Structure 1
Amino acid sequence: MREPDFAGVFAGAGVTGWLYACDLDSGREVGHGADAGVPTASVFKVPLLVEFARRADDGLLDPTEQLTVPARGRTEGPTGIAAMLDDVTMSLRDLAYLMIAVSDNGAADALMARIGFDAVNAMLAGFGLHGTVVRQDCQDFTDSMAEDAGHGWPYLDPEDIARLRVLDPERTNRSTPREMARLFGLIWRDEAASAESCAWMRTVLGLQVWPHRLATGFPYDDVDVSGKTGTMPTLRNEAGVVEYPDGGRYAVAVFTRSFSPALNQPRADAVIGTAARMAVDHLRR
């Protein structure tokens, strides 16, 4: 069967794109640059979520433990506790929820401080995901962009963007479309952690509030889309799972880089859903 023209669809939206999709039950797959190393942006929060769940399973942390994240020194961002003005106290698992559902940078960094990069990377290596590495948290993203550009995001010109380490997979958090989809497959098959913890992760990933990327390709009440977005200057990503009422389950990871530095690019967001739908339709034929 002829594969879809992913390159043409991405180019028509003004982006370069990389994609991998697989049927979680049959193993059928389709890809476009599936093994290319790409910056993950906030998609790195999924490996952090998995390691959080595994440590809870092993009794290394209590997910109900209350943690106070002070306003002073907290990682900033547009959502969740990152946008709040006062000290916040909540459970570790509620921080994990905010990290995924609204991509809360403050919650993510509070959890990373507790869990550590070494633990996350050891988990990834243990699953054979050697192309996926987490070396920066959200504060590191912000600090490195300010250092590289001489000022902060979002006011970046093309010369600034060319200097950003957060866009270089060799110097920031990285993965491949295939490996990120594989990690979602481990969650959906109860292989990433205990069955109970995997069910909880599936619930949390299903509560992500952003409907403008992967979900746009599946505008149906009976099709469930769960996932995690990632955004940096010129980068728009999402990885997740699409579930059909007939039981079909498809892990999909789409990473893009736009030709333009503009912040508002609806076509670049929507092409993630378009390409994902093309891939899933191909697998379902």
Structure 2
Amino acid sequence: MEKYTEWKKEIEKIISQVEGKVCVNFYDLNKNNGFSINGNEKVLSASMIKLLILAELLKKASENKFSLSDTITITNFMKTEGDGVLKELNTGHHFTLKELATLMIIVSDNQATNILIDFLGMENINLLGKELGLKESFLGRKMMDTEARKNGYDNYTCADDISLLFKLIYQEKLINKEASQLMLDILLRQQQGERLQRYLPSDIKIAHKCGDLDNLENDGGIIWLGGKAYISVILTNGMPNLQCKQTIGKISKFVYDKMEE
């Protein structure tokens, strides 16, 4: 569509003003149309890969391999640094799989994530990525595993992959209707809002997942605007974190304003 060509040009102007790499995928869920800029480029995923872990958990639960109300006891061996609350708690607490999944998404809890990776198996998570048609998404290491990073193992994705996941969730086709609805419910409670929402109204309805590393900020999700809904995925790296966040915010605000017209 002609208007998307114009939007794309405007976003490319914003991107040209920064030194780093920016990947964008926009998709209008009402019109089933959109565009991407560097959308198929493989980049470090940071915590965005947690979307795939959540999907694998719900897939196995839907196959009755276990129940989301099954519990795992937290041990000292599981301690993981970085984002999250589990690392602050005493060992011996019991958490359901659903609670661990919720913590993994809404506060990006790394310890909850690593527990779920061990529980599900890295190979199974990556196999689901292939089954879903993801091209560049791969879980190569656990969260905060600096040794694995030194040895060249890491977690990757691309803007087009993240957009596809959100499209499947919105269409209630990710695993099945129940799994998609549960994913959406958890993603709507995401507590980190300084990227896509940076310059948007504070009461915006958004279901999203973000991630960050040094000089890297990623965010992607579904934004509702009146009767409209659209997907915005913006992955940035190669510049200071604040500049990454501001760039995501600017592009997100541009798209929001255009959708509001």
How high is the TM-score relative to the length of structure 1? 0.82
Number of the residue aligned with 2:246: 270
In structure 1, how many angstroms separate the alpha carbons of the residues matched to 2:101 and 2:213?
21
In structure 2, how many angstroms separate the alpha carbons of the residues matched to 1:144 and 1:6?
35
Gaps of 5+ in 2: none
In structure 1, how many angstroms separate the alpha carbons of the residues matched to 2:99 and 2:19?
37
Equivalent of 1:253 in 230, 233, 248: 233
Equivalent of 1:117 in 118, 122, 133: 122
The 8 Å contact of residues 17 and 254 in structure 1, kept in 2 or not, is answered as yes
CA apart distance, 1:277 = 3.0
Q: Tell me whether 22-31 or 79-88 shows the greater mean CA deviation.
A: 79-88
In the alignment, residue 79 of structure 1 is paired with which amino acid?
A: G
CA apart distance, 1:13 = 5.1
Number of the residue aligned with 2:92: 87
Percent of residue pairs bearing the same amino acid type: 21
Number of the residue aligned with 1:57: 62
The 8 Å contact of residues 83 and 107 in structure 2, kept in 1 or not, is answered as no
Check 1:284–1:34 CA distance in 2 against 1; reply closer, same or farther (3 A cut).
Answer: farther
Q: Mapping of 1:177-192 within 5 angstroms? A: 177-192=159-174
Q: Mapping of 1:87-236 within 5 angstroms? A: 87-140=92-145, 142-145=146-149, 147=150, 165=152, 171-221=153-203, 223-236=204-217
What is the CA deviation profile of residues 189-221 of structure 1, one whole-angstrom value per residue up to 9, with x for unaligned ones?
110022122111101101111110011242153
In structure 2, how many angstroms separate the alpha carbons of the residues matched to 1:239 and 1:119?
24
In the alignment, residue 190 of structure 2 is paired with which amino acid?
A: Q
CA apart distance, 1:64 = 0.2
CA apart distance, 1:225 = 1.3
In the alignment, residue 277 of structure 1 is paired with which amino acid?
A: K
Check 1:259–1:74 CA distance in 2 against 1; reply closer, same or farther (3 A cut).
Answer: same
CA apart distance, 1:94 = 0.1
Does structure 1 residue 46 correspond to structure 2 residue 51? yes
CA apart distance, 1:280 = 4.6
In structure 2, how many angstroms separate the alpha carbons of the residues matched to 1:281 and 1:33?
22
Q: Tell me whether 224-233 or 71-80 shows the greater mean CA deviation.
A: 71-80
The 8 Å contact of residues 132 and 175 in structure 1, kept in 2 or not, is answered as yes
Tell me the number of residue pairs that the alignment of Structure 1 and Structure 2 aligns. 256
What is the CA deviation profile of residues 120-143 of structure 1, one whole-angstrom value per residue up to 9, with x for unaligned ones?
112111121132222212043x33
Q: Tell me whether 21-30 or 179-188 shows the greater mean CA deviation.
A: 21-30
Q: Tell me whether 203-212 or 120-129 shows the greater mean CA deviation.
A: 120-129
Q: Kindly report the root-mean-square deviation, in angstroms, between the aligned alpha carbons of the 2 structures.
A: 2.0
Q: Tell me whether 271-280 or 180-189 shows the greater mean CA deviation.
A: 271-280
Check 1:87–1:71 CA distance in 2 against 1; reply closer, same or farther (3 A cut).
Answer: farther
Does structure 1 residue 238 correspond to structure 2 residue 242? no
Gaps of 5+ in 1: 149-164, 166-170
Number of the residue aligned with 1:162: none
Aligned to 1:214, the other structure's residue is in SS state coil
In the alignment, residue 183 of structure 1 is paired with which amino acid?
A: L
In the alignment, residue 250 of structure 2 is paired with which amino acid?
A: T
